[in-house]
Structure 1
């Protein structure tokens, strides 16, 4: 399957120092330019029995004698500088071994898979630039397993023809995250990973699409700074994605018809659903606590009863019946009243037979992902309320489904793995509310119930640390704040060396990929979300094994050819 890697021309240097705990030091070959050595680059140490897959974490220029530095050669004396290079002056490169694997010199060991590093190579072991076969040995290949496991997300820095793949079977097992400051392309990375899970069928998705960027085509900034339109997930997978809309009129103005219109009834909202709105609504703790007192007294009609209150006597009566402070009830009503102005919100009783949750679950159960567009209601208050109210009910439904599956042990009852995508995730998962919101419970507990999160955020430091520790796989783009960098690496071994890697990332199309779905951390240049990517999706190995009433390949051919 793989070529013999014993002899290579891309010799970078040799090992001179190192330890298992602190990493390995390489002396750079004098013929190599120090400016070509980049932090985050993927290299291989060729040991006697094993290949050690490493990441470059630091580069230093050294001198054999301090006297040389006191009397440096003149900048115009190229000959003296060349003579000294590699002997009097030299470059050391810090390497962090991530995995080890038997090499081809020892065929009796080659059945072994890559394992964590438990030893180190000997002095003067050669270090070489990684090749495409090395990348595939570690990260897999899309062609393996009929294309249903691995998905190409980018390539190592300087290795354009060497795809780095994510193991989507592992990716779907746990909650995951995409972090990066504003302008780093988090939306593109999210589309990329969602497309992979849909193409391979490893999970169905529920995307709370605050800015209407995931369903149909949307405008984005191209590499040249010019505006360009990119295709949405419904464009790419017409038979595998349903569009739900909170604002169907805006969806129609864009030339599309939603599959379902979303209405939120007051009796479907619980006090826990408004907890994430406390900061956004400037709601004090006493007013928030009043919602629970109202719920205890009036049940599901607590919010309707609150919104129907108009006069001082009404609030006095509510205070007497619930034991809450009148001023707190008035403040709560004042903060929540604006929701009555939204067309999607109603105080009418919710239907007993069929509502948006039933429609959502029907689509998810049939293997269709759901994009919920917010249209003109791209207000953070609306996003927080709707996402919490729906997710709480979905969580309960999946718990019931899983319990039934455990009882019957019938594969037909096994829930379809669900991944819920949320933006501005720190608003749902901050330390003061993470224990009470449905998203916090999903991150901590729901893996065993086949539900996970895809967290998208620019401020990981504002997310509860326990939630961060539960995240399986992370794709971390450029972050500037030290607290955010530290938070993005919570639960990661050797976080100190990875901090330096994160700090050195380019502002766009570079990310540190690490966690459960990849064998080792690696810096990748992410795939470009363009026509070439669309074509690759159409020709993906998983597409050839897809079935169903409507052939997605034929639909995509109609779209692109």
Structure 2
């Protein structure tokens, strides 16, 4: 036993730490068991020092004892005037499983640290789980429900150097072992390397260079006017004009703007489109077509879809384009939209497709309030679950991500976040109640995490082990990836 309940409510349970217990052995995030008529599982949210009598007693003792050894031992002079309390939140009632608590523990109920036996319900969740790490202070795995993790979307947030990328690597390597496909937009080239996911034969690396398994190419037919708006500013007149051209020329709208002179376009549309507007659109299309990954005979989105259907993972390596927002926005949007559309079609036809996770690094570049509505990702977080497409949002600055997107992330994996605006934005936007974790987010060490949401039965504090690589498998030839149109 480490303490006794001295205050109890549906919001918070406060217990006094026994004088015989070293308060430094109890931490924020520690799981405790409260033995009342029912057995309650609670999570420590804060610790504090209190004293009996005069509220300023500690200040007075400190002043009196300055420089005087006789007062160094406060307890021997004043008796047991000082003590410690822990504030905690009840996670539920342990009854063979963890169920919601609709009552509160009685005053003076004994409190002890939880052990592995108390959390045995964590091990009784079936085999379709993904291990992300271990519970802090307990030798128990943190297992995430695989289907909920993927189809109900998730977020991994942490400042640079917090262990965020390592966590994603651990998750993806486990999903690989479970033959769960993922599409990874690898902005910084962290996942495509041969000492990472690229070592596996079940991973296809696609990029804009010559060192990848495939060279990425976006067919003109898959580019829509809204994609042009995403990468180039279009005023209202230009937006209306390009939509009119697309409505008449369908998938050949880009070729039409490229190959047809301004006067002919002006006449084709009964002089309704102004020539300066047409010239502006032609310039923007020329810029689009000048990108080396636009056009070409190879249909990369289709190859990606076919690869994912084979339960393999695709990593798109942005290489030298890691700081090119134009490329990042265009490629991620077009590929992801194609994938969602094909999964929708498969669903309507009753064709089986594996649940697939889209991993979006540097997510704030695509999910800010002004950009998110132009991309496909806002649609994916709203509709993807119905078709087996999930989104993993990975970012170091959650404050820059549209709150409606964060609200759809039903599993949140939090690493160290020192910026108070990041923490406040997560707390305010998340569907999960993160209020009790706001301060703890700033105290996490490298590799430590708070996992909360639909994928776990209760919020868990733990640590993620270092990614040690995957067992390399032969990668000679890619006949398996020769796809027919």
Structure-1 residue corresponding to 2:436 = 497
Matched, 1:157 2:136: yes
Q: Residue 303 of structure 1: SS of its match in structure 2?
A: helix
Matched, 1:65 2:10: no
Structure-1 residue corresponding to 2:448 = 510
Structure-1 residue corresponding to 2:464 = 526
CA distances 1:166-202 after superposition (whole Å, capped 9, x unpaired): 222321231111112333232222112112222223x
The partner residue of 1:175 within 153, 176, 179 is: 153
Q: Residue 362 of structure 1: SS of its match in structure 2?
A: helix
1:106-125 matches, cutoff 5 A: 110=96, 113-125=97-109
1:135-150 matches, cutoff 5 A: 135=119, 137-140=120-123, 145=126, 148-150=127-129
> Whole-Å Cα distance in 2 between the matches of residues 91 and 286 of structure 1?
67
Q: CA deviation at 1:418?
A: 1.1
The partner residue of 1:100 within 93, 98, 103 is: 93
Kept in 2, the 8 Å contact 1:395–1:442? The answer is yes
Could you state the TM-score of these two structures normalised by the residue count of structure 2? 0.86
Structure-2 residue corresponding to 1:542 = none
Q: Residue 369 of structure 2: SS of its match in structure 1?
A: coil
The partner residue of 1:452 within 378, 390, 394 is: 390
Could you state the TM-score of these two structures normalised by the residue count of structure 1? 0.75
Structure-1 residue corresponding to 2:365 = 427
Kept in 1, the 8 Å contact 2:432–2:452? The answer is no
Structure-2 residue corresponding to 1:33 = 22
Q: Residue 263 of structure 1: SS of its match in structure 2?
A: coil
Q: Residue 345 of structure 1: SS of its match in structure 2?
A: coil
Structure-1 residue corresponding to 2:314 = 370
1:287-436 matches, cutoff 5 A: 287-308=238-259, 313=262, 317=266, 323-335=272-284, 337-346=286-295, 355-378=299-322, 379-405=324-350, 413-436=351-374
1:208–1:85 CA distance, 2 compared to 1 (3 A) = farther
Q: Residue 470 of structure 1: SS of its match in structure 2?
A: coil
Kept in 2, the 8 Å contact 1:131–1:162? The answer is no
1:465–1:340 CA distance, 2 compared to 1 (3 A) = same
Kept in 1, the 8 Å contact 2:38–2:93? The answer is no
> Whole-Å Cα distance in 2 between the matches of residues 433 and 403 of structure 1?
30
CA distances 1:498-554 after superposition (whole Å, capped 9, x unpaired): 212223323x212221111011112222221126xx5xxx7xxxxxxxxxxxxx8x8
Q: CA deviation at 1:332?
A: 4.6
1:31–1:328 CA distance, 2 compared to 1 (3 A) = farther
> Whole-Å Cα distance in 2 between the matches of residues 12 and 484 of structure 1?
34
The partner residue of 1:205 within 174, 179, 182 is: 182
The partner residue of 2:412 within 467, 471, 474 is: 474
> Whole-Å Cα distance in 1 between the matches of residues 78 and 408 of structure 2?
48
Q: CA deviation at 1:285?
A: 5.5
The partner residue of 2:162 within 180, 184, 209 is: 184
> Whole-Å Cα distance in 1 between the matches of residues 57 and 340 of structure 2?
67
Structure-1 residue corresponding to 2:12 = 23
Unpaired stretches in structure 2, ≥5 consecutive residues: 476-485
Q: CA RMSD in A?
A: 3.0
1:522–1:318 CA distance, 2 compared to 1 (3 A) = farther
> Whole-Å Cα distance in 2 between the matches of residues 77 and 167 of structure 1?
58
Q: Which moved more, 1:190-199 or 1:318-327?
A: 318-327
Residues matched between the structures, number: 468
Q: Residue 131 of structure 1: SS of its match in structure 2?
A: coil
1:366–1:491 CA distance, 2 compared to 1 (3 A) = same
> Whole-Å Cα distance in 2 between the matches of residues 99 and 318 of structure 1?
71
Unpaired stretches in structure 1, ≥5 consecutive residues: 1-10, 103-109, 218-230, 252-256, 406-412, 539-551, 557-561
